[in-house]
Amino acid sequence: MTGPGTSCPPEVLWLGLDRPADSWWLLLDARERRRARALPCPLIRRRFIVRRGMVKQVLAHRTGLSAAEVTIHADAEGRPMVTAFPRLRFSVSHRGPLAVLALSGDGSRVGVDLERVSAHRVTPRMLAYTLNPRERHALTRLPPRERTRAFHAVWTAKEAVAKATGHDLASCFIRIDVALGPPGDLGGLTHGQHLARDLTRPPSAWPITRPAAPLPGYATALVTLPTSQEERS
């Protein structure tokens, strides 16, 4: 199994998005402003502006640039980066009024995902689309009240792996297997560590951790992919 190596744990920051957008708008570049204007409603637009501005402010603090000078690009696999600082890697996820930002300063790729937990999402069609047979069987062994949380634990883990590796999410539904804790392990589903295995490249696997969200009703997942693993992915 390829482990996490000697990389430092990523820093995790929580961002509250329901605040005035005016001051953050000044930090966006022309491309980001065009994207904001194209968003379909004022609430989504405001949260995008605040999120992008706050992320750029954090990156500015880490790089020594001014926030207005920070330009976020995508690498060849679509992962965000600041071109002049290739060892500063980060991942962002948001749902509703909350966003989470994970940062690594040693070149390790990171992936973070944040989802609102909803029983309406756990349908037979969604289970068939996102989970492999072993994962679906594991969910059936859980008490009904735990299945929703377990599904979101698997879902967020696969999203986080997709962001860290640069693989598209649809392929991660197939190639990534998430091993959860035993039935009834409610604490493990929220804060414990699970293992995500790449079924197409054994014995590659990554520990998934669960940062505790500051608001109730969220599921989270965080994965770190050191550079040595990245070269093999």
pLDDT of residue 186: 39
Query: Domain for residue 42, yes or no?
Result: yes
Residue 48 lies in a domain: yes
Specify if 135 maps to a domain.
Answer: yes
Q: What's the pLDDT at 5? A: 43
**Going by DSSP bridges, is the β-strand pair 218-225/11-16 parallel, antiparallel, or unpaired?**
unpaired
What does the alpha-carbon distance between residue 210 and residue 114 come to, in Å, rounded to a whole number? 10
Per-residue confidence at 193, pLDDT binned at 50, 70, 90? low
What's the confidence (pLDDT) of residue 200? 92
Q: Do 156 and 215 belong together in one domain?
A: yes
Final residue before a domain boundary, out of 87, 121, 146: 87
d(C-alpha 209, C-alpha 30), whole Å: 36
- Residues 6 or more apart in contact with residue 27 via CB below 8 angstroms: 52, 53, 56, 57, 67, 68, 70
Contact 102, 10 (CB under 8 A): yes
Residue 97 domain-assigned (yes or no): no
Express each pLDDT in 142-192 by its tens digit: 888 889 999 999 999 999 999 999 999 999 999 999 987 654 443 344 445
**Do 218 and 125 belong to one domain?**
yes
CATH number of the domain encompassing residue 34 = 3.90.470.20
Q: Residue 63: which domain range?
A: 11-87
Give the whole-number percent of the chain exceeding pLDDT 70: 88
Give the pLDDT of residue 194: 85
Alpha-carbon gap, residue 54 to 57, rounded angstroms: 5
Q: Are residues 160 and 58 part of one domain?
A: no
Query: Which range (37-41, 192-196, 206-210, 223-227) has the least confidence?
Result: 192-196
Q: What is the pLDDT of residue 184?
A: 43
Say yes or no: 81 and 116 in one domain. no
Rounded Cα–Cα distance for residues 40 and 132 (Å): 35
pTM to 2 decimal places: 0.89
CATH of the domain at 185: 3.90.470
Comparing C-alpha atoms, which of 127, 95, 81, 101 is closest to residue 216?
95
Token match 């669960």: residue? Answer: 210
Residues 165, 116 share a domain: yes
Per-residue model confidence as pLDDT tens digits over 44-87: 999 999 999 999 999 999 999 999 999 999 999 999 999 899 99
Mean pLDDT of the chain: 89
Which position has the higher pLDDT, 51 or 227?
51
Same domain, 77 and 118: no
Q: Is residue 3 part of a domain?
A: no
The answer to whether residues 198 and 131 belong to one domain is yes
Q: Of 185, 198, 199, 187, whose CA–CA distance to 230 is shortest?
A: 198
The DSSP result for 54-114, as a single string, is HHHHHHHHHHSS-GGG--EEE-TTS-EEETT-TT-EEEEEEETTEEEEEEESSS-EEEEEE
The whole-number pLDDT of residue 185 equals 47
Per-residue pLDDT reduced to its tens digit, 102-134:
999 999 999 999 999 999 999 999 999 999 999
At 145 the pLDDT is 81
Mean pLDDT of 226-231: 59
**Nearest residue to 114 (alpha-carbon basis) of 13, 230, 7, 8:** 13
How is residue 107 written in tokens? 């070149």
Count structural domains, the chain: 2
127 plus 218 within the same structural domain: yes
Distance separating alpha carbons of residues 2 and 228, to the nearest angstrom: 9
User: Is 151 within 8 Å of 140 (Cβ atoms)?
Assistant: no
- Please report the pLDDT score of residue 52 as a whole number: 98
Looking at the fold, whether 70 and 130 belong to one and the same domain comes out as no
Q: Judge whether 50 lies within some domain.
A: yes
pLDDT of residue 9: 86
Residue 216 per-residue DSSP state: S
- Identify the pLDDT of residue 143: 86
Express each pLDDT in 1-51 by its tens digit.
334 344 678 999 999 999 999 999 999 999 999 999 999 999 999 999 999
